[in-house]
Structure 1
Amino acid sequence: MDIKVNKRQEQLLNDTIAQWQQQQLIDTQQAQQLRQSYHVISFDWKLLAVYSFWAAIACFILSVILLVADDYLIALISHLIDTPASVLTILSAIIAGLLFYFGVKRRQRYPEKTVSNEAIFFFGVLITAVASGFLSHTTLALHWRESLFIIIPTVIYLIIGIQLRSVLVWLFALLGVGLWVLTETSYLAHDHYLFWGMNIPLRFTVIGLLIVGLSSIFKPNSRFYFTKEATQFIGLIYFFTALWMLTIFGNYDSLRAWSNIKQIELWGWSVAMLLITLSAIFYGIKYNDPLVRAFGIIFLLLCLYSRYFEFFWDTLHKALFFAILALSFWIIGGRAEKIWQLGNKG
């Protein structure tokens, strides 16, 4: 078996094999055989393929968003082609179905082309959203809530994502869930900032925690296990982004109320975020969860920098602030190194 790896992966494998050999877990011949089982690719064509497809998809997204978001443009197109919105809805739904069908057939024929196969599913996702946009302009749906046109494609994404075992479609289902919750709670709150005493950022911390909790119940023998990491990722995105926004805006019911407070009054949210991010880093290290660890580190730094710009930009010298940060991280690193050395001795 010949495995293709990049230079960073090669270095990791070489170091691992050398460590095994030093610990006499493998002999020289086995180490040589392991080193010959992989080779370095000179250029990561898969990464280029991923970027190229995402660039194409991004451009297509912009065109679709502009189309769906512009009521006048949809009405103009409907008028130009003299086709009722109901017919356009059906045609869009058929096209979306054909895209998913073609994506499944292509995946069966070319299972190794994972990037382009998922890209086809992605276009199915977009055309489904377009169909929902046309549905909102039909006579039947004239008085429907706006959130219904979000939950309909979201449910479709959930079903298709599971049936096709597509992580990408599942990701858009979770994004749709977040958008639906935002739209529905805003409607139920009568366009007020608070729903059940929670503003938008606080609502999304709850949603994020629920989604992260959902990912934790996906076990290896579960049908949903292939979505575990993607579900955890979206949940952490919702939770930490919303928590960071709470440190800036708090849980106020209007922009007017927020504008009349001093930022120091939100220190409780900042302390909570510092404790949570440090806990995430500790959890990620202890249980070898790189995703949680990465979110903890990124949002810890984001929280510290945000507080600096809020409280110390005009009073504390920039060099002194970063020197304090450097010293604190040096202390943390030194402490972590001692713990790691104790673990190795044991």
Structure 2
Amino acid sequence: MTENTVSESGNKDKNPGEAADCRPLEVNIRHARVLRSALDYWHETGLLSDEQLKTLNASIRVGINWRRIIFHFTWIAVCCMIIAVGSLLCSDLIVRLMNNTPAAVKTVGAFAMAAGFICSGLVQKEKSPEYVKTYSLLLVLGCLCIASGLFCFGMALNLPEAGMVWMMMVGCFVYGAVAWLGKSGLVWLFALISFCNWLGCSSGYSFGAYWLAIKEPYRFLIFGGLLTLLSFWPVSAGILQSRDLLGTSRAYGILVSFTALWFLSIFGDSNPELFFWALVLGAGALYAIWLGVKTESRMLLGFGCAFMGMDLYTKYFEYFWDRLHVSIFFFLSGAGLLIGIKCIRKFIIDREKGRVVSDD
């Protein structure tokens, strides 16, 4: 008998319920509950024996998520430092010193601090890439210093208001580049918010050409729609995912799109236009709810439910404030939703029955 045969026979003699000596799987309480529920289900259906269930349950160990604790304490520490720096900058001595300091000196100082924060964040990313939010905080502080430096630079050049607006746009591209290099969704969110600020502060002129009579809500709708489309299109979504920017882009794009639709449904030019945008917002919210349930996305489900409620509430004030009591309106809305839920439940039950019949 060869050595391989002996080893194979030895493996066959082992009880399949006995797990090999290995390090227990350490998970948090929520994940442990899910795993044990799955094990209990497999035990009840006969896929696992009592011994196997006992062995697998023993291999699950509930531990403390020290990384999450470190992350929260890091946030608290950063907030304390920001409060300390803010309080220091608001002191009379610092205010007088800053007022007497030339704008060029403040510009150089702000950019130097920005370089220090960004370099520290990138170095921290290379040393400990798993601590994403920790080094992202350093990058965000660097971007804040860049914003201050650009403002001081514009003051040093005595730029007009329109010039300062374009300095804001330059900052958006710089923040985006930092987020792209650092693979930081937090900095990417800062860049997107800054771009929306520039979009709202712009005077309506771009390189000497009028914005084709596009009002501000339409601008945000176009921007949010494009960002949402890029986050769902496979090619661009893959690129964003490779830089860890997909989730932030998708969430912010949906938020901006829904907010723009909500404003259009309130501040349109005519009643038919208001009603049209309200229908578009309601249809988009329903689709977000359906897609959120289908893909088990809490983000889509939350956005859909929130803006569906906002749409119904604002439409009540517009059309039914003087005609229908608020309790009757929302009772009819809730009854309609319950009827829809009952129809969906009946559809699911009928489909499951048909699946069982086909399997038999």
Regarding TM over 0.5, the answer is yes
How many residues in Structure 1 have an aligned counterpart in Structure 2?
A: 323
Change (3 A) 1:201 1:100: same
Counterpart amino acid of residue 149 in structure 2: A
Aligned to 1:37: 60
Listed one character per residue, the Cα deviations across residues 95-132 of structure 1 (whole Å, up to 9, x for unaligned) are 11111111233344445544433222221121111111
1:333 to 311, 321, 341: 341
Q: How far apart are the structure 2 equivalents of 1:92 and 1:140?
A: 18
Change (3 A) 1:42 1:184: closer
- Of 218, 239, 242, which aligns to 2:257? 239
The whole-number CA distance in structure 2 between the counterparts of 1:58 and 1:35 is 46
Q: CA deviation at 1:236?
A: 0.6
Report the CA distance between 1:214 and its aligned residue.
1.6
Distance across 1 between alignment mates of 2:161 and 2:64: 57
> Retained in 1: the 8 A contact 2:143–2:175?
yes
Q: State the shift of 1:184 in Å.
A: 3.5
Q: Distance in 2 between matches of 1:87 and 1:165?
A: 31
Shift of 1:94: 1.4
| Structure 2 residue 225 is the aligned partner of structure 1 residue 201 | no
Whose Rg is larger?
Answer: 2
For 2:9, the equivalent position in structure 1 comes to none
From 174, 181, 184, give the equivalent of 1:166: 184
Structure 2 length normalisation: TM-score?
A: 0.75
Segments of 5+ residues of structure 2 without an aligned counterpart are 1-23, 356-360
Aligned to 1:255: none
Shift, 1:163, TM fit = 1.1
CA distance in structure 2 between the aligned counterparts of 1:339 and 1:36, rounded to whole angstroms: 40
- RMSD over equivalenced CA pairs, Å: 3.7
| Aligned match for 1:128, one of 143, 146, 149 | 146
Identity of aligned residues (%): 23
Letter in 1 for 2:316: Y
Q: Which AA in structure 1 matches 2:76?
A: S
The answer to whether the 8 Å contact 1:53/1:119 transfers is no
From 294, 297, 302, the equivalent of 2:305 is: 297
**Judging changes above 3 Å, is the alpha-carbon distance between structure 1 residues 143 and 273 closer, same or farther for their aligned structure 2 residues?**
closer
Of 161, 166, 170, 1:148 maps to 166
Contact 1:10-1:40 within 8 A present in 2 as well: no
- Give structure 1 stretches of 5+ with no counterpart: 68-73, 253-260
Partner of 2:199: 181
Runs of 4+ more than 6 Å apart: 60-64
> Residue 22 and residue 321 in structure 1: after superposition, are their counterparts in 2 closer, same or farther (change >3 A)?
farther
Between 97-106 and 233-242, report the one with greater CA deviation: 97-106
Whether 2:68 is the aligned partner of 1:52: answer: no
Query: Is structure 2 residue 219 aligned with structure 1 residue 211?
Result: no
The 5 A counterparts of 1:13-92 are: 13-22=35-44, 28=50, 29=52, 33=56, 36-39=59-62, 41=64, 45=69, 48-49=72-73, 52=76, 56=80, 78-80=98-100, 82=101, 84-92=102-110
Deviation at 1:222, TM superposition (A): 6.5
SS in structure 1 opposite 2:179? helix
- Aligned partner of 2:323 in structure 1 is 315
In 1: Cα distance, 2:85 partner to 2:282 partner:
36
Q: 2:26 touches 2:61 (CA, 8 Å); kept in 1? A: yes
